[in-house]
Amino acid sequence: MSLSVKGLSYAYGAKKALDDVSFDVASGTFCALLGPNGAGKTTLFSILTRLFIAQSGTIEIAGQDLSNKPLSALKQIGVVFQQPTLDLDLTVYRNLKYFAALQGLSGTYAENKIMESLEKMSMMERAGETVRKLNGGHRRRAEIARSLIHDPKVLLFDEPTVGLDAASRSAITKHAHALAEEGYTVLWATHLTDEMSPKDQLVILHQGAILANDKAKNITGDSSLTQTFLELTGAEA
């Protein structure tokens, strides 16, 4: 498995944010982590990226144990956080160049990886524009391009379409699915039921616990994903 989470629990004082969370994601899989606000998605991503340290349980990323070999494990992930992190006053290219340097990449190799990443996200024509001039969708594409530069095996997207219009959301999700088809493992956190396809792996997280983990079409059966999600989480339409 490219990403393996076993028995993960985390609490803020007396409040449990994650309760014995376990799931695996194979290489080349788009896995949607679906849950309402407050489900524990951001806490899980904070642990996966080592911003928080797991209080119990284990995580393996591309075969590397996050607790025992954190640097080796973190090298295998590319991350797009919910809050934008690009420098608005630098061009798209300069943002990626700076990130490549932080990853220890330089010279022709770094240049090739930057161009390759921009090409994958259809951002070559925007490379010389300052980020401040870009719309929300293109900023997100630039962030995804940046996350690919160091050849990660696992891509973590924490609600990357928040604040985008419908067309931009659709474009970003299509790009993410295309990356999974290329062989990347994609973990896509969202609270929106229209950002996945029936063949995708779906993990439904609610109040820190996993309610379902299977292909989306197997979880929904003859019902719509929205209806199934509302029924599982006890929410009202």
| DSSP states of 196-230 | S-TTSEEEEEETTEEEEEEEHHHHHTTS-HHHHHH
pLDDT one-digit tens code per residue, 91-144: 999 999 999 999 999 999 999 999 999 999 999 999 999 999 999 999 999 999
pLDDT band at residue 1, thresholds of 50, 70 and 90?
A: confident
C-alpha closest to that of 8 among 229, 34, 62, 16 = 16
Does position 237 have pLDDT exceeding 50, yes or no?
Answer: no
pLDDT of residue 235: 64
Q: What is the pLDDT of residue 236?
A: 52
The residue count of the chain comes to: 237
What b/e string do you get for 97-121 counting C-beta neighbours within 10 Å, with b at 16 or more? bebbeeeebeeeebeebbeebbebb
Nearest-angstrom CA–CA distance, 97 and 126: 14
Does the domain at residues 1-76+180-237 carry the CATH identifier 3.40.1440.10? Answer: no
Query: Cβ distance 43 to 233 under 8 Å?
Result: no
- Dihedral class, residue 234 (left if φ above 0, else alpha if ψ from -120 to 50, else beta): left
Alpha-carbon distance values, 171 to 5, 72, 196 (Å): 29, 32, 12
Predicted pLDDT of residue 214? 97
Domain coordinates in residue numbering, the chain: 1-76+180-237
Cα separation, 78 vs 65, whole angstroms: 16
- Segment 26-31 shows an average pLDDT of 98
Do 170 and 161 contact (CB within 8 A), yes or no? no
Q: Can you give the pTM of this predicted structure?
A: 0.94
CA 179 distance to own-chain centroid: 12
* 48, 77 Cβ separation under 8 angstroms: yes
What is the C-alpha end-to-end distance of the chain, expressed in Å?
36
Q: What is the mean pLDDT of the chain?
A: 95
> Which among 216, 221, 179 is positioned nearest to 199, based on CA atoms?
216
Q: Is 80 left (phi over 0), alpha (psi -120 to 50) or beta?
A: beta
What are the residues whose beta carbons fall under 8 Å from the beta carbon of 30, sequence distance 6 or more?
176, 177, 180, 186, 188, 196, 197, 200, 201
